[in-house]
Structures are given as C-alpha cells and as structure tokens.
Amino acid sequence: GQQVMQIPQYQHVQEGEDFTTYCNSSTTLSNIQWYKQRPGGHPVFLIQLVKSGEVKKQKRLTFQFGEAKKNSSLHITATQTTDVGTYFCAGRYGQNFVFGPGTRLSVLP
C-alpha cells in the first residue's frame, strides 16, 4: 500500500531557531496536506498543496511540494513556544489521505 514517511521523528530546538520537517511518499501524490496537533489535542488543518513545485507561506511557516509530487517540507522560521506540537503530512491517494507518522517539535524557551 501507499506509504508516507516523515523525518525527523523528534526535534528539539531553542526558541528562535528554525525547524524543518520532511515528508516523502512512495508514489506520486494528487495533493498533500499538513496538520498540526497540540499535545492532548486533535489534528488541525494547516494547508493543502496541489501543484508541482508549489510554495505557500503562512507567516513564519513555509510549505513546499516537490517537483515530482512525491515529497514535501514544512519550514518554521524563528520558532516560538506556541509552535510546540506534532506536525503531520497527509498524502492524498484517490479519495483518501495517508498520514505520515509525524514530527514532534519541542521548543525550549
């Protein structure tokens, strides 16, 4: 079946440092979504990327979709303690999405 991998599994950063998580699919994706889950909470939609090579920004967050539509990345500039949580990518295959295992981000003040 389809697999979505994410690295790293964990990331500890000092507040103000940058953070990047990478997502890779075994096959070409229709589109990819990113979600954030705070500790004890539920996943919350951040963004969807559809086009090859697409780049989208949300304040300090930059999302990229690879040219081959098999990989994606989320970059956070100058992390803040409010960025703590687990970031998931979800690749769309047909009608459904397959989630990566997530990257858990800790931000030390």
Backbone phi and psi for residue 74, each to the nearest 5 degrees, phi listed first? -125, 125
Instruction: Pick the closer one to other proteins by CB: 5 or 78.
Output: 5
Instruction: Pick the closer one to other proteins by CB: 90 or 107.
Output: 90
Tell the smallest beta-carbon distance from residue 78 to other proteins (Å). Answer: 27
Backbone phi and psi for residue 81, each to the nearest 5 degrees, phi listed first? -60, -25
Tell the smallest beta-carbon distance from residue 56 to other proteins (Å). Answer: 13
Give Cβ neighbours of residue 105 (< 8 Å, ≥ 6 apart). Answer: 11, 13, 19, 21, 76, 79, 83, 84, 85, 86, 87
List residues near other proteins by CB under 8 A: 1, 4, 6, 9, 31, 33, 35, 41-45, 48, 88, 90, 92, 95-102
